A and B are shown apart, each in its own frame.
Chain A
Amino acid sequence: KAGVTQTPRYLIKTRGQQVTLSCSPISGHRSVSWYQQTPGQGLQFLFEYFSETQRNKGNFPGRFSGRQFSNSRSEMNVSTLELGDSALYLCASSLFPGGQKKETQYFGPGTRLLVL
């Protein structure tokens, strides 16, 4: 079974631009979560989608948004990029929402975003 895939793997943007990242979950998984990883803040939860509905949201500004499609693929968008948005963005999928029914989340390789 193919794992979680994320595209693109690397991105360079400039301040003020917007970016869209994509995540394809493991086949059959309906829950997708997004995380931001930086050296200073570590791994921080962004949001989680299940069956096209956002179920949970972390403490990030409204510039960060996401959506999930009927095939469970998910995208996250960051508008008006800031230097501090430079990070590794990780996507994880599970059968059910993270933590529920003791589900394991499986992570993709991440998208490394550099904002100049």
Chain B
Amino acid sequence: AQSVTQLDSHVSVSEGTPVLLRCNYSSSYSPSLFWYVQHPNKGLQLLLKYTSAATLVKGINGFEAEFKKSETSFHLTKPSAHMSDAAEYFCVVSDQSDYKLSFGAGTTVTVRA
């Protein structure tokens, strides 16, 4: 079965500075990887996904993530944080073993003015 580890439970950045959210995965098969964002009292919104095409994936709102098979990582970055980026972010993996989505524990991002 697959699993995900988000290495930081909380990240705090200043507005205008880069954001890095770290995610490591475990999968016996070629995985699909996703990043979702959840704003307070809202559902999850897809930021981007990797499905074995280009290893650098660009998503919405200026986010991107790089799939590194050798490091089993799928870190999420944004060059310049905005106040509206304050939210919880989930790294998610699925593979052909059972097609279920496995969620990381989440990383809460706060953005300081």
Inter-chain CA distance A45–B92, complex, in Å, is 12
The contact of B101 among A33, A102, A108, by CB within 8 Å, is A33
The contact of A104 among B46, B98, B104, B106, by CB within 8 Å, is B46
The contact of A108 among B43, B90, B94, by CB within 8 Å, is B43
B105 touches A42 (CB 8 A): yes
Inter-chain CA distance A102–B32, complex, in Å, is 6
Which B residues are CB-close (under 8 A) to A116? none
Chain A min CB distance to B52 (Å):
8
A107 touches B32 (CB 8 A): no
Which A residues are CB-close (under 8 A) to B100? 45, 48, 56, 58, 98-99
A4 touches B105 (CB 8 A): no
Which A residues are CB-close (under 8 A) to B90? 43
B45 touches A107 (CB 8 A): yes
A56 touches B98 (CB 8 A): yes
Q: With A99-B32, A104-B46, A109-B42 given, is the CB distance from A43 to B103 under 8 Å? A: yes
Q: With A106-B46, A107-B44, A107-B45 given, is the CB distance from A98 to B101 under 8 Å? A: yes
Chain A residues within 8 Å of B, Cβ to Cβ: 4, 33, 42-43, 45, 48, 56, 58, 90, 92, 97-100, 102, 104-110, 112
